[in-house]
Copies of this chain bind each other. A is one copy, B any other.
């Protein structure tokens, strides 16, 4: 069977990544393009420009057509019928039904899902979650995203809003979160939480890291790799907090694997080993059925491959790759 010819559209706050993807195993990204977001541009106009660019992509790779279009987007996404219910970073996109808009341009099956579900679908199909029926996915970045495959199907919830473990309560009455809750896991293991932990470390003021502004978790990862005791201690402490979230998720889902992506996951063993230790020690379910805790495998391409994966079969009824 010939691999499907897919267009992937990864809608982010700063830009729209687009790609022509041949959905084999492994998949091949044949060509990509990037359209920067302009806050004032109406959604319909952006879709028109993106469609032109997509047609140019199709021409560039020599396809005489496409089999499907998948869209991954930040925000709360109502998957049926495919609408952005809430777009925190691009308010104008709230309410936009992107599949309908793109369907005027491409008369093929089109589906949209949120970017973290898209990431999970790609890692599940082609990456660190492959060949497992029960997988918890986390993306660690400014926020913490999450998605869960249970018995081979993505958990979507009643309106498609499932999968916000970054807003699982880690410390009831803890640090206020813009979401309205207090003590969300994201406040401790998101980028700001990690940087704040570094600033509170007694050795911070006398460390070269204190001269970096703005300091990022990636700076800490780099310093840890280069031997900084302080950076390692901070990542270990936050790894335990990540472990607390993993305890919750593993006790709820009993997954075979936990796949962790996003920028901070680059810290690798400095962050993940303490999380693994905490999980093994503190999770009832992990003690009886220990899951693997793995870094994501698709790297920078996960977003685009994820967008493409949105149109593929997810145990539901879309295209079969």
Contacts and interface: CB of A to CB of B under 8 A. Distances in A.
Interface of A: 76, 85-86, 133-134, 146, 148, 150-151, 153, 155-165, 167-172, 179-182, 188, 241, 244-245, 247-249, 251-256, 281-285, 287-289, 291
A180 B282 contact: yes
Q: In the assembly, how many copies of this chain are there? A: 2
The winner among A151, A281, A288, A291 for most chain B CB atoms within 10 A is: A151
B253 A162 contact: yes
A159 B254 contact: yes
B167 A284 contact: yes
Given A150-B157, A155-B150, A281 B248 contact: no
Nearest to A178: B284
A180 B150 contact: no
17 contacts: A133-B158, A156-B254, A161-B254, A161-B285, A162-B253, A162-B285, A163-B252, A164-B252, A165-B252, A169-B169, A169-B170, A179-B282, A179-B284, A180-B281, A180-B283, A181-B282, A249-B252
Contacts of A155: 150-151, 155, 253
